[in-house]
Amino acid sequence: MAYWLMKSEPEVFGIQHLVARPQQTEPWDGVRNYQARNMLRDQMQPGDQAFFYHSNCKTPGIVGLMEIITAGYPDPTAFDPQHRYFDPKSDPEQPRWFLVDVRYIRHLTRTITLAELKSESHAAALGDFALLRQGNRLSIMPVTEEQWQHILALEPG
DNA sequence: GCCAACGTTGGC
DNA sequence: GCCAACGTTGGC
């Protein structure tokens, strides 16, 4: 089992939207970056877990935990001309964009903020972590087990 | 709202 | 294949 971090803007799709879904599951659609696509398509597996990260908001940070419940499969929004994630160059015969379904596990008892993780990183506790690299824009990234445990250990405050 | 960092596009 | 222009991301 592997660990991941998945970003979303809370005003577009936040953890509160996931909680409100039937079965508290959701297809994580709209990823249009090849590096993230490769992880969705080739690496993510049912049973993996992910941090839900709120980006582009007042207090960016990790707000909850999710489970990956499907392997990657083609993102149908890429084929729908009416959809905001439509990609006219995508081809159902040779899908370009993929997604996984995710399920809510729980909120963290508090938000573990980016600022806090950055200060932790100064202690080198997290090692090389994509989230903390300058200018990082990946919306899905791997998290090592060590990083996962370290971040969860921050939760009690 | 600003803007640096980054990925993608397309002319050549 | 290079690279300038462009659009987007996302912290601040």
CA at A53, C1' at C11: how many angstroms apart?
Answer: 14
* pLDDT value at residue A14: 97
* CATH number of the domain enclosing A44: 3.10.590.10
The residue segments making up the domain with residue A68 are 3-153
pLDDT tens figures, A75-99 = 999 999 888 899 988 888 889 999 9
A27 confidence band (pLDDT: 50, 70, 90): very high
Comparing C-alpha atoms, which of A24, A69, A62, A27 is closest to residue A44?
A69
Strand C close to A41 by CB, under 7 A: no
**Closest nucleotide to residue A135 (Cα to C1')?**
B5
Q: Answer whether residue A2 shows pLDDT above 70.
A: yes
Nucleic acid strand B: bases within 7 A of protein CB = 4-9
d(CA A124, CA A110): 22
The nucleotide minimizing the C1' distance to residue A114's CA is C11
The C-alpha atoms of residue A131 and residue A144 are separated, in whole angstroms, by: 12
pLDDT at A135: 84
Q: What pLDDT was estimated at residue A123?
A: 58
Could you tell me which residues come within 8 angstroms of residue A30 by beta carbon, excluding any fewer than 6 positions away?
A75, A77, A84, A85, A99
Q: What is the pLDDT of residue A51?
A: 98
Please report, rounded to whole angstroms, the spatial distance between the CA atom of protein residue A115 and the C1' atom of nucleotide B6.
Answer: 21
Residue A128 CA and nucleotide C9 C1' are separated, in Å, by 21
pLDDT reported for residue A92: 86
Residue-wise pLDDT tens digits, A45-82: 999 999 999 999 999 999 999 999 999 999 999 999 88
Amino acid A121: pLDDT: 67
User: Is there contact between A137 and strand C, defined as CB under 7 Å from any strand atom?
Assistant: yes
Q: In chain A, how many domains are there? A: 1
For residue range A116-138, what is the model confidence (pLDDT) as tens digits? 999 876 657 898 899 998 888 89
- CA A12 to C1' B11, in angstroms, rounded, equals 36
CA distance A108 to A104: 11
Average pLDDT over residues A99-127: 90
